[in-house]
């Protein structure tokens, strides 16, 4: 019982502390001189700046969503599933996937280092096979010239 009483007194004290702390801050805010007001204005964002930043961010997100949806649809994924999945991504995930898809389009081997390695080995093996084929074909023809 004593614990409940102590807890309720503590909670009441905290509530009063926050209430009167907020009121005293509002009362003291009117006592700022011009230098302090200018400093306060520099630290606070103007609503127009904040609104412009939000609009720019939303336009960038929509552009990234459109890029990724087009790319995934071009690769043969279902458009409805792509739309629902892409719109649930966070901005950082969306930006990462857009960059990866652009990299895959620009790169012959799909942007993966393993793809590059396998591709280079395949091309090298093909070149080696052609050289061996030509070399054995030329040497077989040269044996008749004794």
Task: Please answer whether residues 111 and 103 qualify as being in contact, where contact means their C-beta atoms are separated by less than 8 angstroms.
Answer: yes
Residue 63 lies in a domain: yes
Task: Please answer whether residues 104 and 110 qualify as being in contact, where contact means their C-beta atoms are separated by less than 8 angstroms.
Answer: yes
Q: Give me the domain span that covers residue 107.
A: 54-128
Band of pLDDT at residue 113, cut at 50, 70 and 90? low
User: Chain-wide mean pLDDT for the chain?
Assistant: 75
Q: What DSSP state is assigned to residue 46?
A: P
Structural domains in the chain (count): 1
Is the per-residue pLDDT at 109 higher than 70?
no
Residue 85 lies in a domain: yes
What tens digit of pLDDT does each residue of 52-96 get? 888 999 999 999 989 888 888 887 888 888 888 888 888 888 889
Task: Please answer whether residues 7 and 13 qualify as being in contact, where contact means their C-beta atoms are separated by less than 8 angstroms.
Answer: no
What tens digit of pLDDT does each residue of 18-53 get? 666 655 555 555 556 677 667 666 666 677 788 888
pTM: 0.45
Q: What DSSP state is assigned to residue 90?
A: -
């Amino acid at each position: 019982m004593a614990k409940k009483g102590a807890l309720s007194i503590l909670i009441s004290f905290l509530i009063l502390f926050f209430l009167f702390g907020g009121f005293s801050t509002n009362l003291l805010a009117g006592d700022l001189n011009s230098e302090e007001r200018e400093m306060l204005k520099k630290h606070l964002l103007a609503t127009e700046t904040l609104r412009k930043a939000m609009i720019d961010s939303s336009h960038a997100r929509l552009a990234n969503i459109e890029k990724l949806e087009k790319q995934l649809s071009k690769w043969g994924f279902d458009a409805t599933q792509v739309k629902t999945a892409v719109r649930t991504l966070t901005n950082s995930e969306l930006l990462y996937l857009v960059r990866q898809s652009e990299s895959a389009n620009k790169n012959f081997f799909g942007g993966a280092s393993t793809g590059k390695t396998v591709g280079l080995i395949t091309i090298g093996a093909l070149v080696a096979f052609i050289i061996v084929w030509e070399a054995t074909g030329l040497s077989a023809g040269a044996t008749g010239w004794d």
